[in-house]
A and B are shown apart, each in its own frame.
Chain A
Amino acid sequence: MSLLDLSGNLLFVAFIAYLVGTLLFGGAIKQSKPEDAKNRTNNWGKLALITTVIGFLAHLGYFITRWIYTGHAPVSNMFEFTTAFGMFIIAAFILIYYMYRLTALGLVALPVALLIIGYASMFPRDVDPLVPSLQSYWLTIHVITAALGQSILAISAVAGLLYLLKAIDPKTQSKSRFWMEAVLYFCVLVVGFILATVIFRGIGYEANFNYIDGQNSEQEITYNMPAIFGMNDYTLLTDNVMEPIVEMPAVINAKKLTTVFWAFVFGSIIYIIIRLIIRRRILELLHPLVRKVNLSLLDEVGYRSVLIGFPVFTLGALIFAMIWAQEAWGRFWGWDPKEVWALITWLFFAAYLHLRLSKGWEGKKSAWLAVIGFSIILFNLIVVNLVIAGLHSYASA
Chain B
Amino acid sequence: MEKIICVCGHENPEGTKLCAKCGRPLTEDALTSKILDMKYDGAAIRSKTRNKSFVDKIWNFFSSVKVGITLIIINLIAASIGTIFPQEFYISVQTEEQKAAYYEDTYGSIGKVYYELGLSDVYSSWWFQILVGLLAISIIVASIDRGIPLHRSLKNQRVKRHESFMKRQRVIAEGEITEGDSANTLNLVEEKMKKLRYKVRRDGNALLAERGRFARYGPYINHCGLIIFLAAVMLRLVPGFYVDESMWVREGEMRAVPGMDGYFIENEKFILEMHDNEKTENQVLQGVNVVAKNYQTNAKLYKQSKDAVPGKIDDLELVKDYSIRVNHPLKYDGFSFYQMDFKLNEIKAMNFNLTNKESGESLGDVSIDLTNPKDEYVIGDQTKVQLLGYYPDFSGFENGEPQTATPTPNNPAFIFKMITPDKPDGEVSFVAIQQTIEPNGDNAYKMAFNSVETRNMSGLTVHKDSTIPLLAIGGAIFMIGVAIGSYWNHRRLWVEQLEDGTIRLAAHTNKNWFGIKKDLDAVTQFAHLPQYIDQSQDDDEEENEKEGESTI
CA distance A251 to B102 in the complex (A): 12
Residue of A78, A294, A343 touching B545 (CB-CB under 8 A): A294
Report the minimum CB–CB distance from B247 to chain A (whole Å): 13
Report the minimum CB–CB distance from B212 to chain A (whole Å): 14
Report the minimum CB–CB distance from A50 to chain B (whole Å): 17
Q: CB distance A249 to B482 under 8 Å?
A: no
B76 at the interface (CB under 8 A from A): yes
Q: Which residues of A contact B295 (CB under 8 A)?
A: 132, 397
Q: Which residues of B contact A136 (CB under 8 A)?
A: 327
Contact with B along A330-344 (1 / 0, CB 8 A): 111001110011011
Report the minimum CB–CB distance from B223 to chain A (whole Å): 11
Q: Which residues of A contact B468 (CB under 8 A)?
A: 326, 332
Q: CB distance A103 to B552 under 8 Å?
A: yes
Q: Which residues of B contact A37 (CB under 8 A)?
A: 550-551
A236 at the interface (CB under 8 A from B): no
Q: Which residues of B contact A41 (CB under 8 A)?
A: 550-551
Q: CB distance B552 to A214 under 8 Å?
A: no
Q: Given that A124-B282, A328-B326 are contacting pairs, would A297 and B514 also be in contact in the complex, using a CB cutoff of 8 Å?
A: yes
B512 at the interface (CB under 8 A from A): yes
CA distance A104 to B544 in the complex (A): 14
Q: Which residues of B contact A131 (CB under 8 A)?
A: 289-290, 292-293
Q: Which residues of A contact B325 (CB under 8 A)?
A: 132
Q: Which residues of A contact B341 (CB under 8 A)?
A: 397
Q: CB distance B290 to A132 under 8 Å?
A: no
Residue of A38, A300, A359 touching B514 (CB-CB under 8 A): A300
Across the interface, name the chain B residue whose C-beta is closest to A309. Answer: B486
Contact with A along B71-84 (1 / 0, CB 8 A): 01101100110111
CA distance A319 to B229 in the complex (A): 12
Contact with B along A342-354 (1 / 0, CB 8 A): 0110011011001
A239 at the interface (CB under 8 A from B): no
B87 at the interface (CB under 8 A from A): yes
Q: CB distance A292 to B512 under 8 Å?
A: no
Q: Which residues of A contact B39 (CB under 8 A)?
A: 357
> Apart from A102-B552, A124-B281, what are 12 other A-B pairs with CB-CB below 8 Å?
A41-B550, A126-B281, A251-B106, A294-B545, A296-B545, A297-B514, A314-B479, A330-B336, A330-B338, A347-B75, A348-B76, A351-B73
Across the interface, name the chain B residue whose C-beta is closest to A341. Answer: B83
Report the minimum CB–CB distance from A215 to chain B (whole Å): 9
* A283-300 contacts to B (CB < 8 Å): 292-297, 300
Interface residues of chain A, those whose CB is within 8 Å of chain B, are 28-29, 37-38, 41, 45, 77-78, 99-104, 124, 126-129, 131-133, 135-136, 138, 214, 249-251, 292-297, 300, 303-304, 307-308, 310-311, 314-315, 319, 322, 326-332, 335-337, 340-341, 343-344, 347-348, 350-351, 354-355, 357-359, 384, 388, 390-391, 393, 395-397
CA distance A294 to B461 in the complex (A): 57
CA distance A100 to B84 in the complex (A): 41
B66 at the interface (CB under 8 A from A): yes
Report the minimum CB–CB distance from B417 to chain A (whole Å): 40
Report the minimum CB–CB distance from B549 to chain A (whole Å): 8
Q: CB distance A355 to B461 under 8 Å?
A: no
Q: Of A126, A132, A310, A327, which is in contact with the most chain B CB atoms at under 10 Å from its CB?
A: A132
15 A-B contact pairs sorted by A residue (CB < 8 Å)? A38-B550, A41-B551, A101-B552, A128-B280, A131-B290, A131-B292, A132-B295, A293-B548, A311-B482, A344-B79, A344-B80, A357-B65, A397-B295, A397-B326, A397-B339
CA distance A391 to B295 in the complex (A): 20
Q: Which residues of B contact A138 (CB under 8 A)?
A: 327
Q: CB distance B76 to A347 under 8 Å?
A: yes
Contact with A along B506-542 (1 / 0, CB 8 A): 0000011110000000000000000000001100010
CA distance A390 to B107 in the complex (A): 13
Across the interface, name the chain B residue whose C-beta is closest to A250. Answer: B106
Q: Given that A292-B548, A311-B487 are contacting pairs, would A329 and B340 also be in contact in the complex, using a CB cutoff of 8 Å?
A: yes
Q: CB distance B548 to A397 under 8 Å?
A: no
Interface residues of chain B, those whose CB is within 8 Å of chain A, are 37, 39, 65-66, 68-69, 72-73, 75-76, 79-80, 82-84, 86-87, 89-91, 105-108, 123, 244, 275, 277, 280-283, 285-286, 289-295, 325-327, 329, 336, 338-342, 461, 463, 468, 471, 475, 478-479, 482-483, 486-487, 511-514, 536-537, 541, 544-545, 547-548, 550-552
Q: Which residues of B contact A359 (CB under 8 A)?
A: 37
Q: CB distance B86 to A391 under 8 Å?
A: yes
Report the minimum CB–CB distance from A149 to chain B (whole Å): 12
Report the minimum CB–CB distance from A128 to chain B (whole Å): 5
Q: CB distance A100 to B342 under 8 Å?
A: no
Q: Which residues of A contact B69 (CB under 8 A)?
A: 351, 354-355
Report the minimum CB–CB distance from A296 to chain B (whole Å): 6
Across the interface, name the chain A residue whose C-beta is closest to B471. Answer: A332
CA distance A395 to B243 in the complex (A): 26
Across the interface, name the chain A residue whose C-beta is closest to B329. Answer: A330
Q: Which residues of B contact A133 (CB under 8 A)?
A: 326-327
Q: Which residues of A contact B73 (CB under 8 A)?
A: 347, 351
Q: Given that A292-B548, A319-B479 are contacting pairs, would A354 and B275 also be in contact in the complex, using a CB cutoff of 8 Å?
A: no
Report the minimum CB–CB distance from B259 to chain A (whole Å): 13
Report the minimum CB–CB distance from A118 to chain B (whole Å): 18
Q: Which residues of A contact B66 (CB under 8 A)?
A: 358
Q: Which residues of B contact A343 (CB under 8 A)?
A: 79
Q: CB distance A340 to B82 under 8 Å?
A: yes
Report the minimum CB–CB distance from B147 to chain A (whole Å): 14
CA distance A277 to B443 in the complex (A): 90
Q: Of B66, B90, B244, B545, which is in contact with the most chain A CB atoms at under 10 Å from its CB?
A: B90
CA distance A332 to B475 in the complex (A): 12
Q: CB distance B327 to A328 under 8 Å?
A: yes
Q: Which residues of A contact B511 (CB under 8 A)?
A: 303-304, 307
Q: Which residues of B contact A292 (CB under 8 A)?
A: 544, 547-548, 550-551
* Interchain residue pairs A-B with the least CB separation, the first 5: A124-B281, A126-B280, A132-B326, A330-B463, A129-B275
Across the interface, name the chain A residue whose C-beta is closest to B327. Answer: A136
Q: Which residues of A contact B294 (CB under 8 A)?
A: 132
Q: Which residues of B contact A329 (CB under 8 A)?
A: 338, 340, 461
CA distance A397 to B325 in the complex (A): 10
Q: Which residues of A contact B86 (CB under 8 A)?
A: 390-391
Across the interface, name the chain A residue whose C-beta is closest to B276. Answer: A129
Residue of A293, A328, A347 touching B72 (CB-CB under 8 A): A347
Q: CB distance A295 to B280 under 8 Å?
A: no
Q: Of A45, A344, A390, which is in contact with the most chain B CB atoms at under 10 Å from its CB?
A: A344
Q: CB distance A296 to B536 under 8 Å?
A: yes
CA distance A250 to B286 in the complex (A): 17
Q: Which residues of B contact A358 (CB under 8 A)?
A: 65-66
Q: Which residues of B contact A336 (CB under 8 A)?
A: 90
Report the minimum CB–CB distance from B445 to chain A (whole Å): 40
Q: CB distance B83 to A337 under 8 Å?
A: yes
CA distance A133 to B289 in the complex (A): 11
CA distance A58 to B195 in the complex (A): 40
Report the minimum CB–CB distance from A148 to chain B (whole Å): 15
